[in-house]
Amino acid sequence: MGRIAVDPARVARPRATDDEQTISGRRVRQLILWFVLVAPFIAVFVGTSSMTFAVGIVILSHVLVLYPTLTATSQWLGPVVTHFATDVKEVWLTIDDGPDPVDTPRILDLLARYRARATFFVKGERVRNYRQEAGEIVRQGHSLGNHSDGHPSARFWCFGPRRIAQEIDRCNKAILDVTGTPTTWFRAPVGMKNPFVHPLLDARGMRLIGWSARGFDAVKNECSAVVNRICKDIKPGSIILAHEGRREGRCNCIEFLVKRLSEEGYSFVIPGQDKLRSRAPGQGGDATKVGNTISAVMPRRPAF
């Protein structure tokens, strides 16, 4: 199959990443990594006087790394898109783990019935294996995002920069080879990222996409529970996380969800780059939050 002809006007180009949120993310990463490096020396220095204080310093240094790594929507390490700006009842449906030779055609059919658009965050190895399904997604007016090449969900968060770059670049190449269009969106496996992810994405003009509503359809089969969980978090501008493939019932969950939200007056759109948002209005800077956390949690240095 050859590349798909794409109207250049429809291709969203990467926007500059040197904005306030990205700079804040760099400062947070620097602050966390600085503290991780100096924490053992501080612990040794004060350990002879207060073992509790020393242990607390080491524990805090680990927490400052693990919390933003394992919390998918944490902004500490850099901006994670969690919603988009809109004044009407619109949501962004994102579907992970495809393409799938069985589920993808079914999902495309139901999206066409409801005139809904979606973004499929795909695995590079599956794009290479199911080129026809990946191409059909774009032909029907939807978009593709990068969900890593092999989806190493248990290990991605602890990979070094070289391995993370391989996962991103191989998937990008697979998408480009099939569609002729580069993607500017990345979603980490299971949403977990580490301090290396944002610099690598910045260098590629890409953005990290999270979510604001999910039903845990990756681990649950009961569609009513999945859809109810998603709908309780729905509001205009929400980003919905759904999945395809592997587990039975995922397509049914997506169909029930699209039907229910359509009946409630919502439309399913793919927002422009300029509409994507990483934090709610009025939310403070993460560098200040981390600095305050370090100051608040650390006990006073013991007197000698």
Residue-wise pLDDT for 121-174, tens only, equals: 999 999 999 999 999 999 999 999 999 999 999 999 999 999 999 999 999 999
Q: Is residue 170 part of a domain?
A: yes
Clarify whether residues 51 and 154 are in a common domain.
Answer: no
Task: Name the pLDDT band for 292 (thresholds 50, 70, 90).
Answer: low
Distant-in-sequence, close-in-space partners of 59: CB < 8 Å, separation ≥ 6: none
243 catalytic? Reply is: yes
What is the span of the domain harbouring residue 293? 20-77+285-297
Which residue has tokens 């500490």? Answer: 76
Mean pLDDT across the chain, nearest whole number?
85
Q: Which of 83, 96, 97, 103 is catalytic?
A: 96
Q: What is the pLDDT of residue 295?
A: 54
In the prediction, which pLDDT does 218 show? 78
pLDDT for 9 equals 36
The reply to whether 83 belongs to the active site is no
Pair (97, 206) in one structural domain: yes
DSSP calls for the chain: --PPP--GGGPPPPPP--SHHHHHHHHHHHHHHHHHHHHHHHHHHHHTT-HHHHHHHHHHHHHHHHHHHH-TT--TTS-EE-EE--SSSEEEEEEEEE--TTHHHHHHHHHHHTT--EEEEE-HHHHHH-HHHHHHHHHTT-EEEE--SS--TTTGGG--HHHHHHHHHHHHHHHHHHHS----EE--GGG---TTHHHHHHHTT-EEE--SEE--TTT---HHHHHHHHHTT--TTEEEEEE-SSSTTHHHHHHHHHHHHHHTT-EE----GGGEESS-TTPPPHHHHHHHHHHHHSPPPPP-
Please check whether residues 216 and 152 belong to one and the same domain.
yes
120 and 39 co-located in one domain? no
Same domain, 231 and 268: yes
Residue 271 lies in a domain: yes
Q: How much is the pLDDT for 289?
A: 56
Lowest mean pLDDT among 2-11, 20-29, 55-64: 2-11
Is the same domain home to 97 and 225?
yes
Contact at 8 Å (CB) between 15 and 273? yes
Examine the domain organization and report whether 232 and 253 are in the same domain. Answer: yes
The answer to whether residue 4 is domain-embedded is no
Look at the chain and report how many structural domains it folds into. Answer: 2
pLDDT in tens, 175-192: 999 999 999 999 999 999
Q: What is the pLDDT of residue 219?
A: 78
Confidence of residue 5 (pLDDT cuts 50, 70, 90): very low
Q: Is residue 10 part of a domain?
A: no
Q: What is the mean pLDDT of residues 280-300?
A: 51
pLDDT exceeds cutoff 90 at 45: no
Same domain, 150 and 168: yes
Of the pLDDT bands very low, low, confident and very high (cuts 50, 70, 90), residue 32 is: low
Per-residue pLDDT band at 293 (split at 50, 70, 90):
low
Check whether residue 42 and residue 96 sit in a common domain. Answer: no
CATH of the domain at 146: 3.20.20.370
Instruction: Find the range with the poorest average confidence among 35-49, 166-180, 230-244, 284-298.
Output: 284-298
User: Which of these is catalytic: 83, 147, 198, 243?
Assistant: 243
Same domain, 145 and 239: yes
Same domain, 93 and 70: no
196-251 pLDDT, tens digit each = 999 999 999 999 999 999 999 877 778 999 999 999 999 999 999 999 987 777 99
Same domain, 266 and 181: yes
